[in-house]
Structure 1
Amino acid sequence: MLITTFTELRTERLVLRPLREEDRQAMVDIHTDPRTNRFNPAPPDVATFSEVYTGWLAHWAEHGFGYLAVTEPGGTEVLGVTGVRFREFHGERVLNLAYRYRPSAWGKGYAVEAAGAVMDWCAGKLPGVPVLASITVTNKPSLRVAERLGFTDYILEDYDGAPSRHYRRTPTTE
């Protein structure tokens, strides 16, 4: 079991902090919004996503890191989520990179900025652990984010009911 200590990350425009129970409703709103699910063949309902969120909090409790709430400095509104957590992929333990934002936060470069900070954190705290981003092939904006972050095409296969690209990057300290 790997446990690390995480407090928060800051970028020029964003604060990335650990998820808390009080973020549940914001996360439910973001993840059940039809606009954020337009590329998802099986969008979650409130009950399903609430269970998923409980798993995210459990990952935090077990490992000391996970998906992060993203806000603006001094802001209270959760703009989205970005972060990594462990998952098994084809028999290998990897980190899953996730990013999803409210539609009001789209087009501002927040996903690239926040995920770049997370990848820098991974390089310092979890070097050598592969990071995967699994993205439905029709989700062009998310594919562009992964490519801008230096991820390379790894596997193309059906995943969660849709053809998906699995991008891979191994953070290293430099």
Structure 2
Amino acid sequence: MAPALPDLRTERLLLRRLGVEDLPAVVEIQTDPRTHPYDPPPESTARVRMQFVLWQRHWVEHRFGYLAVVEVETGRIVGLGGVQFKDLEDEPVLNLYYRFRPEVWGKGYAPEMAKAVLAWAERAIPERPVVIVTNVDNEPACRVAEKLGFVEYRQADYDGAPARFFRNRPR
């Protein structure tokens, strides 16, 4: 079992486990159509609530998972991100996820959050590569992957849409 993921602090962000009190912010972010410009329409509130339960279960079972990304200056949840176990093409990996409120896009929060999470993952679960899967048209997410040193290794359909697959180390 991986060591527990503690709260992480970067220069501008607090990354902490999502609590039940964060559900309204999660629903707001996940159902906002502006946060899905390259994906199918956002999830329904009911689907996001179900997704939140699965995220919480991952935390209970593995002691890490997706996080609230809190802007230290304001105390507001500005995004969601982190890593979870995933089997991708029969390979056990860590899936790096990030989604932010549009009003904070361009501030560099995604790579700032990801660098902190990746440093923890490298120490805690070094045997698992980290992957990012994103829509082929999502250039901002692809730029984040490249800033983090990830390399694209394939393009294929993923959840019914054309996607680019990145990883942090060769297969």
TM-score interval (norm. to shorter): over 0.9
| 1:97-116 superposed matches below 5 A | 97-116=96-115
In the alignment, which residue of structure 2 is the partner of 1:22? 21
- Paired residues, number: 170
Q: Is the 8 A contact 1:10 1:16 kept in 2?
A: yes
1:21-170 to 2 correspondences below 5 Å = 21-73=20-72, 75-170=74-169
Across the aligned residues of Structure 1 and Structure 2, the Cα RMSD in angstroms comes to 1.4
CA drift at 1:43: 2.3
Structure 1 distance, partners of 2:34, 2:117, is: 25
- Alpha-carbon distance between aligned partners in 2 of 1:77 and 1:29, rounded to the nearest angstrom: 13
Q: CA deviation at 1:170?
A: 3.9
Q: Is the 8 A contact 1:127 1:170 kept in 2?
A: no
Say which is worse superposed, 95-104 or 2-11, in terms of deviation: 2-11
State TM-score, norm by structure 2. 0.95
Quick one: distance in 2 between partners of 1:48 and 1:151? Answer: 30
Q: Distance in 1 between matches of 2:127 and 2:70?
A: 29
Q: What CA deviation, in whole Å up to 9, does each residue of 1:54-87 have, x standing for no partner?
A: 1000000110000110112264311101100001
Instruction: Give the letter for the 2:88 counterpart.
Output: F
TM-score scaled by length of structure 1: 0.93
SS for the counterpart of 1:165 is strand
5+ residue gaps, structure 1, are none
Question: Percent of aligned positions with the same letter in both sequences?
Answer: 48
Distance in 2 (CA, whole Å) between partners of 1:166 and 1:35 is: 23
